[in-house]
Amino acid sequence: MPLASRVILALAVALLLACAPLADARQFEVRQDRRDAAYATGDIVRWQVRWRGDGVPPDARYTVKWGGLKEMKGGPLQVHDGSAEVQATFDQPGAMLFEVKWQADGKEGRAVGAAVADPARITPAAPPPDDFDAFWRSKLDELARVPPNEKLERADAAKLGVDYWKITLDNVRGTHINGQLARPQLGEKFPALLIVQWAGVYPLRKAWVTDRAAEGWLALNILPHDLPIDEPESFYKEQFDGPLKNYWAIGNDDPDASYYLRMYLSCYRAVEYLKSRRDWDGKTLVVMGTSQGGQQALVSAGLQKDCVTAVLAFLPAACDVLAPDVGRASGFPHWYHQTQGNDPQKVRSASRYYDPINFARRIKCPALVGLALRDELAPPSSVLAAANVISGPKEVVILANAGHQDENGSQAPYNERCYGAWLPALRRGQPPPVRSDP
C-alpha cells in the first residue's frame, strides 16, 4: 500500500529526512546480532556499527533509548578499524532504539537499529478512563440521531468489470463522511472491506477501492476529513496549510471537542452502511488501514465488535498515549508532550478516550497487526501493547529492520501476510491463516 503523498504529515516527512542516509556512501550502518531482533528478558543485545565509505570514519555519538524514549546509555562511539559494538541488557519486556549520529562533509548523518524482548508481555501504560464505555455510548447515541442521508454518484471506475461511486454520508454536528465505493459488476453478494486512511490531507485514489473490487470485494474507502475526495492536490495543500494545519491538535484538551470524534464516528457509520447494503454477503466485513488508518481500524473493530469479522492494522498510530509515564514513547500525534499550548493534564486526560488500545481491548475478531522496530511514529512497544490486549485470534508481524516508510521493500513481510494470505482467505469466506508466533 503506498504511503507517499506530497502533503503527508510534515512531521512524518521531517522524520523520514532525519533518518535518511547521507547522499553518498559515507555512512554508518547498524545491525543487531540477531537477525529477527528478538530477545528475552535478561538477554544482551549487541549492535554492530560499521562505517561504509572511504577514509577515516568521523566522530560519532550513540544513544540507546528504552521504549524509544528514555535514554539508557550513550556517549562517543568507539570505532576501531571502521567498526564498533555497543551492548545493552534487557531487564524487562520492551523495545530498545539504538541511534548513531555524526557529521560528515558538512551534513548530519543518522542511523538507527532496534530490538525487542518478550513482545507478548508488553502491557499498556494505563487502563481506560472509568467512563470510557459510557462516553462512547453517548457519542454513538448522538450519531444515531443523525440519518445517514446516503448520496451516491456513479463515476467511471477506470477498471474493467468494476462499478464505482463517490459516496457521502451525514455525520454528527453537521459534518459529512466522504469516500469512494466499488464492487464487481457481476454477482449479487460480496464480502465487505472498509479501508481507512493514513494521516495527512490528500485526495483518494480510485485504485485503492477498484483494485480490491476487481478481486471480489465490496470495498468502501473513506477520507479522514470532511472534504471532497478528488480535488487537485493544491486544494488539499491549502487545507493542510490552513484550517487543517495540525488538525490532530484541534480540541485536544476536551474529549467532546476532539477532531478525532467525527473521524472515529465516521468509521462506525461506514461499517453500519456496509452492513445495510443488499449486496453485502452478510458474513464477512473486514476493516484495514495503515498508520492513522491502522489507528482507525482498531477503533472500528472495537466499536463494532459484533459486526467486524477481521481487522488488519499496520503500524497503528496514537497507541498507548500515557506511555511516557512508564518511560516509553507513545504513538503519533504524541499528545502527551505535543499539547500545542494547552494544559498538558487536560490534553493527556482527553487523549485516553481516543487511545486505540482502549478500543483494542474490546476486539474479539481475528486481527493481523504489523509493526516496525525502527518506527518512531508508531513505536513498537505502543503497537505491541495494543496487540496484546486483543482477545481474539491474532497474528503479529514484527519487522526487525524497518521503519514507518517502506524503504527498500522493508515492509514486504507484512504485505505478504496481508495481501497474499489474509485478504484472499477472508474474501473466500475462510478463516484467516493466523500464525501465532511473531
pLDDT in tens, 76-125: 999 999 999 999 999 999 999 999 999 988 899 999 999 999 999 999 99
For domain 132-427, the CATH class is alpha beta
What is d(CA 207, CA 182) in angstroms, rounded to the nearest whole number? 10
Contact yes or no for 310/333 (Cβ under 8 A): no
Closest among 41, 166, 165, 158 to 93, alpha carbons compared: 41
Q: Where are the domains of the chain?
A: 10-119, 132-427
pLDDT tens profile 343-362: 999 999 999 999 999 999 99
- C-alpha 175/C-alpha 318 separation (Å) is 23
Q: Which residues pair with 46 in a beta bridge?
A: 87
Q: Report residue 436's pLDDT band, with 50, 70 and 90 as the boundaries.
A: confident
Residue 209 · residue 195 · CB < 8 Å = yes
pLDDT at position 20 is 40
Distance CA 182, CA 166 (A): 9
**Residue 4: partners with Cβ closer than 8 Å, 6 or more residues away:** none
At 30-77, the pLDDT tens digits run: 999 999 999 999 999 999 999 998 889 999 999 999 999 999 999 999
Asked if the model's pLDDT at residue 26 lies above 80, the reply is no
Nearest to 270 by CA among 364, 171, 187: 171
Q: Residue by residue, what is the 3-state secondary structure of the chain?
A: CCCCCCCCCHHHHHHHHHHCCCCCCCEEEEEECCCCCEECCCCEEEEEEEEECCCCCCCEEEEEEECCCEEEEEEECCCECCEEEEEEECCCCEEEEEEEEEEECCEEEEEEEEEEECHHHCCCCCCCCCCHHHHHHHHHHHHHCCCCCCEEEEECCCCCCEEEEEEEEECHHHCEEEEEEEEECCCCCEEEEEEECCCCCCCCCCHHHHHHHHHCCEEEEECCCCCCCCCCHHHHHHHHHCCCCCHHHCCCCCCCCCCHHHHHHHHHHHHHHHHHCCCEEEEEEEEEEECHHHHHHHHHHHHCCCCCCEEEEECCCCCCCCHHHHCCCCCCCCCCCCCCCCCHHHHHHHHHHHCHHHHHCCCCCCEEEEEECCCCCCCHHHHHHHHCCCCCCEEEEEECCCCCCCHHHCCHHHHHHHHHHHHHHHHCCCCCCCCCCC
Matching CATH number, 10-119, of 1.10.3470.10, 3.40.50.720, 3.10.580.10, 2.60.40.1930:
2.60.40.1930
- Report the largest interatomic distance among the alpha carbons of the chain, rounded to a whole angstrom: 70
Which bin fits 424, alpha (ψ -120 to 50), beta or left (φ > 0)?
Answer: alpha
Provide the whole-model pTM: 0.94
Residue 121, number of CB atoms within 10 A of its CB = 13
Local confidence band at 22 (pLDDT 50, 70, 90 cut-offs): very low
Reply yes or no on whether the pLDDT at 252 is more than 70. Answer: yes
- Give the model's pLDDT for residue 54: 83
β-strand 310-314 against 367-372: which pairing, if any? parallel
